[in-house]
Chains A and B, each alone.
Chain A
Amino acid sequence: MVRKYVALLRMKYIEMLAYRLATIVWMTGAITQPLITMAVWMNIDPSQSDAFFFYFMAVIFVERMTSAWDVWELDREIREGTFSNYIIRQLHPIHWAIAENVVYKLLFLVILVPIWAVAALFAPALRFDISGGQLLLFLAAVLLGAALRFLLSYTCGLLGFWVTKVAAIYGVLEVISLFLSGRIAPLEMLPPFLQQWSIFLPFRYMIGFPIDIINKAANGDGIMKGFVIALIWAAVFIIVLQFVWKAGLKKNQAVGG
């Protein structure tokens, strides 16, 4: 399996280099929405400007590290019939997608971390003071968030075996997630009932939860509880994905000649 991953990562890296421009546009384009949202909040409550600045910079970082695009890829591949080429080969197609995620996110990491470090020299609001343990917890939460978003996106993509243009369904989830993950506003600013919901739904663990750790907005108990809930969701997604995969293969029409 290690050899297979080495080969897939290498190939995805070469492929990414072939898409240099698209990759850069894609990365910078995703920054716009959090920046505008940040400007809006700063305007509403100028006294909290620094906090908003830190929060939304963290949103940009975490959002890029956990972003998932697999639903669009699968939607297209299943609809056009090219997915067949993955099914017939001796390796589950999900590994191709995992390798792609790893390559792109490593790229985001090596670009975003130095940018943050340099920016922190000039903007004190970006500096943070946490222990090594907390940093590890933050990274673990980011990883878990990436896994959750990936699993949800991939599972939705597999629904393409039943529905054409399945990305529309995922679009609805994205809108819900916009609010409940903390992308539009820090979760503590949501109405209490939404805050309650967000704790038990998976979306918070895709973006808001890691930020709460680095922000020190979550205490030890909250962090523990968060990891447990996120892990339960990950397990649920894995089970659903396997079920959808098996049922999907039965349903597969392998379109196209």
Chain B
Amino acid sequence: MIEVKHLHKSFRVHVRKAGWLDAVRHLWKREYRVVEAVKDVSFTIEKGEIVGFLGPNGAGKTTTMKMLAGLLHPTSGEIKVGEYVPFEQRAEFKKMMSLVMGQKSQLIWDIPPMETFLVNKAIYDIDDRAFRRTLDELVELLELEPLLTKPTRSLSLGQRMRCELAAALLHRPAILFLDEPTIGLDVHTQEKVRRFIADYNREHQTTILLTSHYMGDVTALCDRIMIINYGQLIYDGELAVLTEKLAPYKRLEVQFAEVPNVRWEDYGEVAEIEDGNVVLRVMREKVAEVSAHFLQHFRVHDINIQDPPMEEVITRAFQEEVPHGS
């Protein structure tokens, strides 16, 4: 469905130092620096997949997504979405895809969302019956009924995002690009949006590429993730495989009656020691042995073994090069 080969994008950025003198000097002499936002990125996404696209701010994920949606011209490399080359701006391409940007609303600000829906109906040549059917489904799934007739500007961020998703899906795109769809939403609304995306994908086999800062979005929705940093794709594979590769340890939390005087480093890496509470990162194969040892030799109130939090795994991935996953 989506095929990307050796994609590059560089921007020419105007460099300016702070200060009055430099500001004046730059009036006639401008310096530029070439920033490579995306470097040699290649991947394929099959129909119906939900892929999470992760990376720190400025890593190149939104740039890549904008090239996929046809908003940006690649500097070099090939992109095919369906049968189309996005930047050629073909009408057929636009009809098969949709882009939702968490921070850039497509809803018309001062009038109710229903008006945007009606405009999209006309723009995408959706006939009355199909429009009714799709709208009814979206209104139900996203609980939009009470929002349809209120001016967009008076909606809360979460309400607006739900309308935003509906506006993007009215023409039943085969591909949906979601750029930070849950940004700024409260936990409850994030959950709602996630559940909707998962259900919608299952129901309609829509191919979804999602960028997010929230690990919750990714763990809840995507089996496959791609990690991009400094413009390069550093991981593409299953989420579970990444966890094993990057976090070959478990998080062992022990509540001691009295903290024993031992060298914790002998058991694992110390994450935290506080008031009798000790948190260690212990290698997976040693977890059973270490916990048995604690229980046998010390007075233990409580013991808790967990996988490391996803945030920790991803932060590690951002910091180091990860071998490509299966």
Contact = CB atoms under 8 A, between A and B. Distances in A.
B243 interface: no
A88 B104 contact: no
Given A8-B119, A84-B101, A252 B106 contact: no
B108 A11 contact: yes
Nearest to A19: B110
B151 A18 contact: yes
Interface string A1-41: 00110111011001100110000000000000000000000
A84 B99 CA distance: 10
A195 interface: no
Contact of A254 (B72, B98, B102): B72
Contacts of B62: 257
B70 A88 contact: yes
Chain A interface size range: 20 to 34
Residue among A15, A82, A84, A88 facing the most chain B CB atoms (10 A cut-off): A88
B142 to A, nearest CB: 19
A10 B118 contact: yes
A140 interface: no
Interface stretch (B86-94, B155-163, B253-261): B86-94
A85 B94 CA distance: 12
A18 B153 CA distance: 12
B110 A18 contact: yes
A90 to B, nearest CB: 4
Interface string A82-96: 101101111100000
Contact of B111 (A14, A82, A84): A14
Chain B interface size range: 35 or more
B104 A81 contact: yes
A252 B116 CA distance: 25
Nearest to A250: B73
Interface in B53-101: 62, 66, 69-73, 87, 89, 91, 94-95, 97-99, 101
B71 A84 contact: yes
A11 B71 contact: no
Contacts of B116: 11
B71 A252 contact: yes
Nearest to B121: A7
A223 B125 CA distance: 42
A208 B101 CA distance: 45
A82 B105 CA distance: 7
Given A11-B111, A18-B110, A90-B95, A249 B73 contact: yes
A54 B305 CA distance: 89
Contact of A88 (B11, B71, B105, B151): B71
A133 interface: no
Given A15-B110, A18-B111, A88-B71, A257 B101 contact: yes
Nearest to A8: B119
Given A15-B110, A257-B180, A89 B71 contact: no
A4 B70 contact: no
B269 to A, nearest CB: 35
A253 interface: yes
Interface of A: 3-4, 6-8, 10-11, 14-15, 18-19, 81-82, 84-85, 87-91, 249-254, 256-257
14 contacts: A3-B122, A7-B121, A10-B118, A11-B108, A11-B119, A15-B111, A84-B66, A87-B71, A89-B124, A250-B73, A253-B11, A254-B66, A254-B71, A256-B101
* In the complex, the 10 A-B pairs of residues with the closest C-beta atoms, listed nearest first: A7-B122, A254-B71, A85-B106, A90-B94, A18-B110, A91-B123, A4-B122, A254-B66, A250-B73, A11-B119
